[in-house]
Structure 1
Amino acid sequence: MVESGTEGDPGERAAQDAIAWFVRLNDPRASEADRRAFRAWIEADPEHERAMAETTALWGDLAAPAARLGHGGWYRERSRQRQGFGRLAALAACAALLVTGAALWRDPGLVDRAFADHATRPGERRDVVLADGTRMLLDGDTALSAALSATRRDVTLIRGRAWFDVAPDKTRPFVVRTGALDAQALGTAFAVDHDVDSVTVEEGQVAVLAGGEQVTLRAAERTALAAGGGLDAPSRIDPAAAAAWRRGLVAFDAAPLSEVAAELSRLEAGRVIIAGDDLRRLRLSGSFRADDPSGILEAMRGALSLKIVRLPGLVTLIYR
């Protein structure tokens, strides 16, 4: 159930088991037999209770449904008698809410994708051709909507990253909006990343507007939303590196782990949690295959001496 690159350390094994139990109890279908087995595990070794307490503290609000299930240390109490149909009905309603909450917790883009015109799941890339002939390539976990009229062509990038090869039409401006910035094509191929509010130009020019400030990007240039508002000055980029994701590659050049985690979230389903701001600031370099996220995790283990526990499809926990 749990994947980890470390074996043989009792403390490490207890931590892995605690995470597995935490997630198992997060499932509203957890049975009384599950609770008895958990109680037996807790009582088998003092290290287990310590590991469970550390896991609860580490995940905190990120695992609120499971925290509620375990709140108050119910696993050390005797089972209580049932208290009538009304309580069962309330528990059933809570279970339904927890199912929804758990789904959204493990896949934050679920709702955005459900209401978009075009969307991709984590790990998926998709080519889309609009009615005007514009080609779009959607990266993993991306959602966007398009509105083409007789006078305008507007795309709203709701989440994720997309590349646009815009069909020429001087009578109908082509604008991509993220909510924080607008990017208007001036005869071009370019990419927009909603998650970091950036625009990267491959060919032609793009006018980017944010916070009342406008910059014009040319080929092999990039800008992003500045920390204090407005836009960063255009910077030169390596076109091959910028386009790596379109070729099924992921390239990092001294990227902070916060950025690496965001990239991992595009590549496969499930949350990526980095335990601590100091770890988020660590940097990683390298080129990896997008269809093999485990290669990125192995690089973290080897180059940065980090520990990683995975529950495939649900969560990846990175810590030291």
Structure 2
Amino acid sequence: MVNGSSAPGHERCAHRKVRAQAALWTVLAPDSSADDLRGLARWLADGEDHAQGYTRTQAIWDDLGDVLAGQETIDDRELAVAEKPGWVRPAPIFAMAASLVLACMIGFLMLARPVQYGTDVGEQRVVSLADGSRVTLNTSSQIAVRMSDGRREISLEQGEALFDVAPDPARPFIVRTADRYVQVLGTTFSVRRDERRLDVVVLHGSVEVGDADSAKALARLRPGDRFRERASEPGPILDRPDLEVETAWRNGELMLDQTPLGTAVREMNRYSETQIVLADPGIGKLPISGVFRTGDSASFARTISLMYGLKISKSDETVVVER
């Protein structure tokens, strides 16, 4: 869990300050001098949140420009009066006013314009969010992040992620999957979403798992609990798995304990473009135990071939295991 010594109110204030600065730079940048642009470069380099804020603000500004372009233009006569000789456009005042309007609008638009983060097959990534939370993405995972002053919302679109949530009672932290939500105030937990399964595991603190459509709470989890759903099972199951096994992927490891070989192969295949194929369905029932390096399909295949006297044939994209 992230240390709670920093006040949530201070973090929100800092976040709003960055947002306002990004809005001002966005408005001023087109007419900036060389010195101003160097100042912008220094500000962008001063923190990852600065660069993220500026990028998002520019995108929103562009969207607003598209909207304004579709509106009626100022009447030619009004424009002629407004820009008659001797009239000077108050550029600094206009820029400040525009940046204030933009900063206010960003707060409303951020929820509608999420930031996407993802990993490729075999890749892991740690994402630091603006509120101080951290998200560790496992292989082939995708999240969409929406932040506002009143809510922190993450959509886990695919894959698996570990969430280390910064405490902030005023802003609930919500993770959504296709038809479930997980809500916390400050804790550490993981969520895995595949086509036919959902796992929510709590390491610290507590979370609520609920139905996304009805907003009805289904379970409240404590440290060590797992909420588990499978397409092949009639309903959700609550159990207490080995947390070391559940989080071994953070260290690039797959821990197995009398696991059917078919299940083990599916787990290994998550981490590599080279897929292991069991030619005989009966092989998939053989048990296997041990700690294996994720992404190393060739070594895993050699190990099981030596254990059970199996044959291996390789191609560019597959490792076929047969009797």
**TM-score, normalization: structure 1?**
0.57
1:169 aligns with 2:168: yes
Aligned counterpart, 2:207: 206
1:1-320 mapped onto 2 (5 Å cutoff): 117-195=116-194, 196-210=197-211, 214-226=218-230, 227-233=232-238, 235-290=239-294, 292-312=296-316, 314-320=317-323
SS of equivalent residue, structure 2 residue 157: strand
The structure that has the greater radius of gyration is 2
Q: Secondary structure at the match of 1:295?
A: helix
Q: CA deviation at 1:285?
A: 1.4
CA deviation after TM superposition for structure 1 residue 205, in Å: 1.0
Q: Distance in 2 between matches of 1:127 and 1:200?
A: 18
d(CA) in 2 for partners of 1:128 and 1:138? Answer: 8
CA RMSD, Structure 1 to Structure 2 (Å): 2.5
Q: Give how far 1:277 is off.
A: 4.0
User: CA–CA distance in 2 between the matches of 1:300 and 1:203?
Assistant: 36
Aligned to 2:32: none
Unmatched tracts of structure 2, length 5 or more: 1-113
Preserved contact between residue 254 and residue 292 of structure 2 (Cα < 8 Å): yes
CA distance in 2, matches of 1:259, 1:129: 32
1:160 alignment partner, SS class: strand
Aligned-partner SS, 2:227: strand
Quote the residue 1:30 is aligned against.
none
State the alpha-carbon separation in 1 of the partners of residues 322 and 179 from structure 2: 32
Structure 1 distance, partners of 2:280, 2:207, is: 37
Alpha-carbon distance in structure 2 between the residues aligned to 1:280 and 1:156: 34
Does the 8 Å CA contact 2:305/2:321 hold for their aligned counterparts?
no
1:282 Cα deviation from its structure 2 partner = 3.2
Q: CA deviation at 1:221?
A: 1.8
Question: How far apart are the structure 2 equivalents of 1:181 and 1:316?
Answer: 36
Rounded to whole Å, the distance in 2 between the matches of 1:303 and 1:181 is 41
Partner amino acid for 1:275?
A: A
Task: Assess, with a 3 A threshold, how the Cα gap between structure 1 residues 186 and 316 changes in structure 2: closer, same or farther.
Answer: farther
- Is contact 2:312-2:320 (8 Å) kept? yes
Q: Distance in 2 between matches of 1:303 and 1:232?
A: 33
**Separation (CA, whole Å) in 2 of partners of 1:230 and 1:151:** 33
Contact in 1 for aligned 2:314/2:320 (Cα 8 Å): yes
> In the aligned structure 2, how far is the partner of 1:273 from the partner of 1:152?
44
Match in the other structure for 1:51: none
Q: Percent identity?
A: 33
Contact between 1:210 and 1:230, CA under 8 Å: does it hold in 2? no
TM-score by length of 2: 0.57
Tell whether the 8 Å contact from 1:181 to 1:225 is kept in structure 2 after alignment. Answer: no
The Cα shift of 1:163 comes to: 0.6
Secondary structure of the residue aligned to 2:166 is: coil
Counterpart residue type for residue 121 of structure 1: D
- Residues 210, 231 of structure 1: 8 Å contact kept: no
CA distance in 2 between partners of 1:274 and 1:146 (Å)? 38
Higher RCO, Cα 8 Å, sep 6+: 1
Q: Distance in 2 between matches of 1:184 and 1:229?
A: 24
| 2:62 corresponds to | none
SS in 1 for 2:255: strand
Query: For residues 215 and 249 of structure 1, what CA distance do their matches in structure 2 show?
Result: 29
| CA drift at 1:319 | 3.1
In structure 2, the CA distance between the partners of 1:176 and 1:252, relative to structure 1 (3 Å rule), is same
2:221 partner letter: L
**1:251 deviation in Å?**
0.4
1:189 partner letter: T
Structure 2 CA distance, aligned partners of 1:143 and 1:198? 16
- Once residues 176 and 280 of structure 1 are traced to their aligned partners in structure 2, the CA distance between those partners, rounded to angstroms, is 34
Deviations 1:270-308 (A, max 9, x none): 444333543333332111223533332222212233333
